[in-house]
A = this chain, B = another copy of it.
């Protein structure tokens, strides 16, 4: 590794973003150093090293120059005209761990740490990371290997320290309308005096993540310091976890899993527990929604996932409760950031709302209250209901909104929603028998959710409701007329809400 030639280059920056860290070299320099496009090179700035992907050019970089994307120059602390060292990188030492893994051998705690360090440093490309993830499909990690992986994911990122016990609630997701649940459960827990600095993701494949929905009401791109300070003041946050550098390996894994449409359950557990450990969470409630069109479709899969959570939480010293919840239709009556923010806010103000929303939020908050000792076993939901009905949870929610820079006195009707709408009406008299989660997700995203905050779907009827012919079933919202058109095409194609009458068929 030490034997590839190294040379000094002058830094030049360009304002371009790349999906991976790159450096662009003059073709002749690259040839001299034995570098071909796609090779990993080691850039040396003073005493620090960073691996990046080499590309070549005939004119963009002169001989002796190396061109970096602006973002990367900031990360490396270099600017135009600086001199850096650069050489072709041999195989990193942790490559042996990857090879062992592909040969079916077990890895030690140290090997996982070395591998994860290199993954986070950007030494590996997509191919190596995909190989690591795909190997798990065929050859699962042992329990202790999975714990080593999770610890290594935590060690290779930022860690947040709080002075008191940290609680959290986390849903594995996959059911539309779920993003707003935390806007009720977190303030309930915080209003009981427990510390719950919740960080969430933005939607990846769903119409809204909790961070997207909370962003309608307040800033969510908080720094670690802000989260610590706000939590100290108001006990809870509803922040976006994306830029906090918590278990950054997870983001790398998730991006590859998405490409491959794989979601190894061990990696799902690693993803969640690593982020929670990095936030110092000691007591955790996990929500696994089960139902057609959600991430976990079968009860037996939910139970298998739950058992991995419980085993790993034990190995990693996290007290855990897992709730397997009903996810057979959307949660509440809305899907999409602004519509869900309205629904959550309305529930706080009116102290009531859709049962699927209120019951779920109270139950999850209740489990946390029981774990904390604030409520006796079995009475957590009651205490959560008291906090909700008394308005204490709403007061807390307002404090959190204000602490995160939002307007605590915002009213549901102040929240803008999609300008263009279409309301689907029932073609017959009957009862709603089915709502297709997957189709609702696709339609809401076609409307523009989560990027168009006002886009989404609102239900006027849910499963079990009786409707007359012509009654509204659902309204779709978008700020773009063409997007609404697209969504209507999908609506006709998927027929995501099924009404069945008593009369099935008439014969001549």
Contact = CB atoms under 8 A, between A and B. Distances in A.
23 contacts: A15-B58, A15-B59, A15-B60, A16-B24, A16-B55, A16-B56, A16-B60, A17-B27, A19-B37, A19-B53, A20-B38, A31-B451, A38-B255, A95-B261, A102-B137, A125-B126, A126-B130, A127-B130, A127-B259, A127-B260, A128-B130, A130-B130, A131-B131
Q: Which A-B residue pairs are the 10 nearest by beta carbons?
A: A19-B38, A138-B138, A127-B130, A130-B130, A126-B127, A126-B126, A15-B59, A16-B57, A19-B37, A134-B134
A446 B3 CA distance: 8
A102 B259 contact: no
Contacts of A56: 16-17
Given A126-B127, A135-B134, A18 B3 contact: no
Interface stretch (A149-157, A166-174, A463-471, A481-489): A481-489
Interface in A441-493: 446, 451, 482-483, 486, 489-490
Given A15-B58, A19-B55, A99-B261, 11 more contacts: A3-B489, A15-B60, A16-B57, A17-B55, A17-B56, A102-B137, A126-B126, A127-B129, A127-B256, A128-B259, A134-B134
A193 interface: no
Contacts of A16: 24, 55-57, 60
A221 to B, nearest CB: 16
Contact of A130 (B95, B99, B134, B490): B134
Contact of A3 (B129, B255, B490): B490
Contacts of A59: 15
A416 interface: no
A410 interface: no
Interface string A106-130: 0000000000000000000111111
Nearest to A96: B261
Interface string A82-112: 0000000001000100110010000000000
A319 interface: no
Nearest to A39: B19
A377 interface: no
Contacts of A486: 3, 5
A390 interface: no
Given A55-B19, A255-B38, A5 B262 contact: no
A37 B15 contact: no
A102 B262 contact: yes
Contacts of A451: 31, 34
A135 to B, nearest CB: 6
A178 B5 CA distance: 27
Nearest to A103: B137
A137 B31 CA distance: 33
Nearest to A55: B18
Interface in A39-84: 53, 55-60
Interface in A402-451: 446, 451
